[in-house]
Structure 1
C-alpha cells in the first residue's frame, strides 16, 4: 500500500489541534503529508507564529479560533468538520512533536484487520526520558478507565488516536479541555464501541516540546470528571449492563453460566451470593446497587453474582420483607408488635409506616439480612461444591 493511500483505504483524515506550538508544527505537518493531504488543523487561539506557518500550506483545512478554548473544544470542532467532509474516521495527533506520523499506518492496519474501533496510541512509558508526572498520570488514568468500563488498557492518555466518527457522533459530551479525552473514551466504551491500544513511538524533547497541561487545574478537572463517571458507572452503566445480560441469557442460562460455570472458586461465588442477599435486604433503598458493587470490588468478589442477588428484594416481595423486618425488630427489641396496623395492599403507606417504626425496621432488616445472607451463602457453597466435585469426577 503506497503511503498516500494509507488513510484513503479507511476513508480517514487527520485532525491537528494546536496552540502555540510554532516550534514543532511545521515538522508535524510535513510528516503528515507523506501519508495524506486530508488534514484539518484547528488553531486554538495561538498567539505565536502559528497563523503564518499555516498560511504556507494552502491546501490545509484550517479553523482559526479567536481565543484559546481548550483541546477538547478544538477536537470537537475538528470532528464536526471531518464529519461534514464525509470522513468515516479521524486520526488525531498532537502538534508538540512527541508523536511520529510514521505510526499512522499502524492505525489503518488495525482497522482493516480487526474492524471499527476507537484506537489509542500505546506509548512506551518506561523508556528513558519520559517525565515521571506523565507516567504517574497515565497509570492514574488507566486505573479509573478500567474501573469505569471494565476494559484494561496500557495507555489511555495518548493524544495520538483514531476515532470512528459515525459511532461517536450521537454521544453527548460536556467537557472542552484536556479532560475531554477521558470523557470520550469512557462514553465510547459505554456505548459498546471497542476501545483498543496500538503501539506507537514517542519523543519527549524538553527543548522543543511545549506542554499546556496545568498540573493542578487540569488534574482537578480530570479528578472531578472521574468522580462523576464512577458514580454514573456504578448507579447506571453497570446495572444496565447486568440487566441486559440477564435479559439476553434468561434466568436459567445465567445460573448455569455465571454462577455454576464461573471460573471463580465455590467460596468466592458463595460469598458473592451472601453479599448480594445482605445488601438486597438492607434498609439502604436506592443505594443498594452502589453499595453492592463497591463492596464486591473492594472485597474482590464476583460483581455480577453479587448484583444479581440484590434482586432478592424485588417489588412483589417487598411487603413480605418489610413485614418480616418489623416483626423481627419488635421481637429483638422486646417491644409491642409493630405490624398490628400493617397494610398489605397499599404500598404508598409503607414509607410513613416505616418512619413510625424506624428502629424496629432497621434492627429487623440487619438481623434478617445477616441471617438470610449466611443461609444463602452456606446453601450456595454446598450446592457449588457438589457440582464442582461431580464435574471433577467426570474428568477422571
Structure 2
C-alpha cells in the first residue's frame, strides 16, 4: 500500500503559505478567481483596496476566508503590504499573490509549491514568467516588461525574463525586514530589487496567462504609472551605482582577500582570455575617460552591449580611485597639451586646491582620451598575455 500524496492545501500548510488576492474594482472576475483558489486551499486573504463597485457585497459570500477592507483606494503596493502584515499576524511564512483580474490560473499555485519544496534555500522570491509572445498580450505590456527587465538587471546583476508579473511567492519574514516606500504599481519593482540587494534569491518560474479584454479590467494608467515606475528605477539605479555595487565589491574583497577575489571572481570565470582581456581594456578605458560621475553606468552598459565580463570591467574601471585622481588629471592635461601643441604650466597642488586646470579643459579632454586608449591597450595586452600564460599552466598541471 503506497502513501497518498499530500494535497496542495496540505503542502501549503506545511510550508505555512497563504494565497493573497489584492483587488480593486474587479467584480467581474473576482468571484471566479476566489472559487479557483478555494478548490486548492482555504488559506486565503483578500484585500479589498477601497473598491467602488460591488466587491464588498460579493465578498460577503465568502465569510470563511480572511478579508481586509480598506476605506480608500491607495494602490496595489499598499494593499500588498497590508496583506503581508495580515499574513504575518496569522503566522504565515510565505504568501502567493494572484491578481483578481482573471489573467492568472489558480492551478499554477502548484508550480510555486513544487519549486519552493525543491529549492535549497527558503529565502527565495518567485516571479511568474509569462509567455509575452502570446498573440493576446498587449504590446504596451510586452514593451514595459522588457524595459523593467533591463533596469532590474542593471540594479541587481540578475537577468529575468519577467519582472512585472503579479503572480509571485514572497518570503514574508525577509520582506518584513525591508524598508519599502512606494504604494502603487511601482512597489512590485521596488520590492524585488531591495529583496535581491538584501540577499533574497529572486527567480522566475513559468506560469500560464490569459488576457480576456472582455472581462479584464486593468487599472494601470500608462503615463502616470509608467512615470512613477521610471522615477523609482532612476532612484534605484543611483543607489545601486553609488552604494550597492561598491558595497558588494568591498564585501567580496574583504571576505576573500585581493588575491583570491581576483582569481576566483574575476579571472576564474569560463570566459576566454580574449574576452577577459577585452573586459579589462574596457574598464581601464572608462576609468581614465573624462566622463566623471558616469563611469559605473557606462562600463556596465557597454559590458552588457558588447557581452563582456561585467565584474572584470567594473573592477578595472576603478583605476581612477579618489587618491589617484589628481595624478590622472595632471597627466591627462600634459598629454593633451602636448598633442594639441598648447603651452601648459600647472602643478599637482593647483589641481587639488583651486581647480585652475578647468581653463585647460580642451587639453584635459583630449589628453584623458589618449590616456584611456593607451591605458586600455596596455592593460588589455598585459592581461591577455598573463591570462593565456596562466591558462596554459593550469592545463599543463591538470594533465600532468
Q: Tell me, what secondary structure is at the counterpart of 1:120?
A: strand
Using the TM superposition, give the Cα deviation of residue 309 of structure 1 relative to its aligned residue in structure 2, in angstroms: 1.7
In structure 2, what is the equivalent of residue 134 of structure 1? 141
1:82 Cα offset (Å): 1.6
Select 1:196's aligned residue among 197, 200, 203: 203
Alignment of 1:174-193 (within 5 A): 174-193=181-200
* TM-score for the superposition, normalised by structure 1: 0.87
Cα drift, residue 18 of structure 1: 0.8
How many angstroms does 1:250 deviate by? 1.9
Per-residue deviation, 1:182: 1.9
Query: For residue 343 of structure 1, what is the aligned residue in structure 2?
Result: 349
Deviates more, 1:11-20 or 1:386-395: 386-395
Deviation at 1:75, TM superposition (A): 0.9
How many Å apart are 1:319 and its aligned residue? 4.7
- Whether 1:250 aligns to 2:250 is no
- What residue is the counterpart of 2:153 in the other structure? 146
- The answer to whether the Cα contact below 8 Å between 2:326 and 2:348 also exists between their aligned partners in 1 is no
Shift, 1:193, TM fit:
0.6
Q: 1:3 to 1:291 in 2, by over 3 A?
A: closer
CA distance in 2, matches of 1:295, 1:18: 41
* Aligned counterparts of 2:321 and 2:214: Cα–Cα separation in 1: 63
Within the alignment, does 1:109 sit opposite 2:149 as a pair? no
d(CA) in 2 for partners of 1:325 and 1:384?
29
Partner of 2:3: none
Decide whether the 8 Å contact of 1:7 with 1:35 is kept in 2: no
Residue 93, structure 1, aligned to residue 98, structure 2? yes
1:243-262 deviation line (CA, Å, top 9, x unaligned): 33333332212332345433
Aligned to 2:177: 170
Secondary structure in 1 aligned to 2:257? Answer: helix
- What is residue 378 of structure 1 aligned with on the other side? 381
How many residues are treated as equivalent by the alignment? 392
Aligned to 2:316: 309
- Aligned match of 2:216: 209
Q: Secondary structure at the match of 1:157?
A: coil
Q: C-alpha separation between the residues in 2 aligned to 1:81 and 1:206?
A: 32
Local SS of the residue matching 2:62: coil
In structure 1, how many angstroms separate the alpha carbons of the residues matched to 2:87 and 2:370? 60
User: Under a length normalisation based on structure 2, what TM-score does the superposition of the two structures give?
Assistant: 0.86
Answer whether contact 1:6 1:105 (CA < 8 A) is retained.
Answer: no
- Contact conserved, 2:326 with 2:352, CA < 8 A, in 1? no
Aligned mate of 1:65, from 64, 70, 73: 70
Q: Is the CA contact (8 Å cut-off) linking 2:125 and 2:201 kept in structure 1?
A: yes
Call closer, same or farther: CA 1:326–1:169 in 2, change over 3 Å. Answer: same
DSSP-derived class of the 2:40 partner? coil
Which sits farther off after the overlay, 42-51 or 266-275? 266-275
1:53 corresponds to 2:62: no
Residue by residue over 1:275-298, the C-alpha shift from the partner in whole angstroms, topping out at 9 and shown as x without a partner, is: 222332334444332332233333
Runs of 4 or more consecutive aligned structure 1 residues displaced over 6 Å after TM superposition: none
| Deviation of the 1:211 alpha carbon | 2.0
Aligned residue in 2 for 1:32: 37
Q: Deviations over 1:86-136 (max 9, x none)?
A: 221111111122222222233223222213211122333444544444344
Provide the C-alpha distance between the structure 1 equivalents of 2:214 and 2:324, rounded to a whole number of angstroms.
Answer: 68
| Aligned-partner Cα distance in 2 for 1:7–1:395 | 48
- Take 1:43 and 1:295, find their aligned partners in 2: how far apart are those partners? 45
Q: Which residue of structure 1 lines up, in the alignment, with residue 89 of structure 2?
A: 84
Look up the SS of the partner of 1:40 in the other structure: strand
- Which runs of structure 2 are paired with 1:361-376 in the superposition (5 Å)? 361-376=364-379
CA deviation after TM superposition for structure 1 residue 370, in Å? 2.8
Partner SS, residue 16 of structure 1 = strand
